[in-house]
Amino acid sequence: MAEQSRIKKLMKNTGFGLISMAINLIVQFIARTFFVRILGAEYNGINGLFLNILQVLNIAELGFAYSVAYALYKPLQEGDERKISEIMNFLRRVYGVITCVVLIAGTLCIPFLQYLIKEDISTLPFNIHELRIFFAIYLVNTALSYVLSYKRTIITADQKSYLVSNVDYFGNAILYAVQILVLLLWKNYYVYLILMTVKTFLSNVIINFMANKKYPYLKANRTLVLEKAERNSIMKNVGAMFFHKIGTIIVYSTTTIIISAFVGLVDASKYVNYILIVNAVGTFINIIFNALTASVGNLCTTADEEYQYRVFRRVSYVSNFLAVFCFVCYVGLFTPFITIWVGGEMTFDFWTTVAIAASAFVTVIRLTVTTFKNAKGLFVKDWYKPLIEAGLGIALAVVLSFPLGTLGVVLGYMLPNLLIGFPIEVIVLFKSGFKQSNGKIVMQFVRTAGCILLAVLAGGLASYVCSLLGSGILWFVVKLVICIAIGGLSFVLFTFRIEAFKYYVSLVIRLVKKLFGKSETPQNVTQSAEQNTQTANNNENLSTEKESETK
């Protein structure tokens, strides 16, 4: 019943998130099209630059949301309202401090903004005073994102992330529509930014209201204080998450800053467009994994390590598929899509495009490992990893930017991500989380290497076939079908014999039978899938034993 409840909540979170996301993304791309064509590449570049600067300032959050969510899993499952209230009161006070820190740190950045743009400021369509005002509005928006936002944490930890997704995505859709109208009527960047801050504040007010309705005891227990021992436990995880936060920010949130400072604002604008596409796809993927995190957190409090590892293998199959599939589509479709969308002058060369696609591949293939590691609270075990990863990343990005431009920046961040960050995470999760042997760790790396090889071969084939075809919307649709076919079929052909594939096929067959009126309950569906995959597991174990005897 517990697994059935987790699956039901996961499907609900994912379903609502997908509907909201679809509406949001359509309007977002339309808004970006108007933005680039009306205001130009330079405004698009500073938009991305400001966003990255303020993401760096978000280091003040220190990973409290993850650490507190982990602390909430058990009391939420047990219905311990007092403990939940104590934890949330602690988070409320912390977020008040964070808001002040972000405002102060952001204000100190204002006098130095011009040094983060390679071009002479006098050659740009805005002056230094306007640049500073633009940033100040962005800063207020970031500070407002913390006001009342701490209650998002309890909703997500309680496996109801679809509520937050609905508010955010539908709010964004309305925002983008109004921003388009503002651009068409007045071409005014000031109003464009002010609308963004209003939306941020109203979204948090709505989510706060929803949390008060669903968890009324939070308001009644506002004076409760978390015990010192438990505060210290959370702070211990926060201390580890601080370093993880540094790594995440440097690896993912400083790329546009480096490109703007060492390559140029126009290249930064191009990169922002590519990343908008990656983030749009990533939003879809993150809906699945964000909804999954709370379910995994619940699983890790109720199931043994062996069963957790089995679930990990199945979830990892999904992230591997998505990584290969997305890489193939990025390599084949980036250039034709951006050409149609904002013009051929906003595209990168082939190798820079491949590097951006490869960076996105690495991000997706790590998702299952980071999801399980965070859900199990293993923040302290690899606290040193992000320092090594981030230090090497920023050093390589700067050094390689001189001979290679944007290509060098992307490679500089990606290589430590793949060669250092990912291996350390796997070892920590398998050793401390699943208690698995070194052989299982090696097999995980072998599977990852196989996915990389498959992505390279399938991506190369997709790119070559697409290069033979013409341009325009109709030809883009043809290329899309080709990339989907190559990305999907190649992965299936590569993995159809493994246990996870058989598990999902069995599950889908039974769900289809139920959909068309067969009398199988969801519980029977899961049990049947478990029985089939258990047979596969026994065969796999027998094969392994035979191999060992042969050796």
Q: Of 329, 327, 319, whose CA–CA distance to 365 is shortest?
A: 319
How many Å apart are CA 397 and CA 258, to the nearest integer? 8
Report if residue 136 sits inside a domain. Answer: yes
Confidence of residue 5 (pLDDT cuts 50, 70, 90): low
Q: What is the pLDDT of residue 265?
A: 92
- Residue 52 located in a structural domain: yes
Q: How many residues does the chain have?
A: 551
Give the percent of the chain with pLDDT over 90.
Answer: 52
Residue 45 lies in a domain: yes
Provide the pLDDT for residue 280.
86
Average pLDDT estimate for 66-90: 88
pLDDT exceeds cutoff 50 at 70: yes
pLDDT in tens, 134-167: 999 999 999 988 887 788 889 988 878 778 878 8
Q: Identify the residue with better confidence: 350 or 372.
A: 350
60 pLDDT exceeds 90? no
**In terms of pLDDT, which residue wins out, 509 or 527?**
509
Query: Among 363, 356, 371, 364, which residue's Cα sits nearest to residue 389?
Result: 363
Q: For position 14, what pLDDT does the model report?
A: 59
d(CA 105, CA 60): 9
- Token duo for residue 399: 């050094």
> Is 173 part of any domain?
yes
Residue 476 scores a pLDDT above 60: yes
207: left (phi over 0), alpha (psi -120 to 50) or beta: alpha
Highest mean pLDDT among 172-176, 250-254, 402-406, 542-546: 402-406
Helices within 187-227 (DSSP H only): 189-214, 217-220
> Predicted confidence band at 540 (pLDDT cuts at 50, 70, 90)?
very low
Let me know the angle formed at the C-alpha of 69 by 66 and 73, rounded to the nearest 5 degrees: 140
Tell me, yes or no, whether 11 lies in a domain: no
pTM for the predicted model, two decimal places = 0.79
Predicted confidence at residue 283, as pLDDT, reads 78
Residue at 510 is within a domain: no
CA 212 – CA 200 distance, rounded (Å): 19
Q: What is the pLDDT of residues 297-342, one digit of tens each?
A: 667 666 788 888 888 998 899 999 999 999 999 999 999 999 999 9
Asked if the structure places residue 456 within a domain, the reply is no
Angle between helices 406-416 and 228-253 in degrees, nearest 10: 140
In a domain, 509, yes or no: no
**What is the pLDDT of the chain when averaged over all its residues?**
85
| 519 has a pLDDT exceeding 50 | no
Domain count, the chain: 1
**pLDDT (0 to 100) of residue 504:** 87
Closest CA to 328 of 455, 480, 476, 468: 455
The whole domain housing 44 covers: 39-263
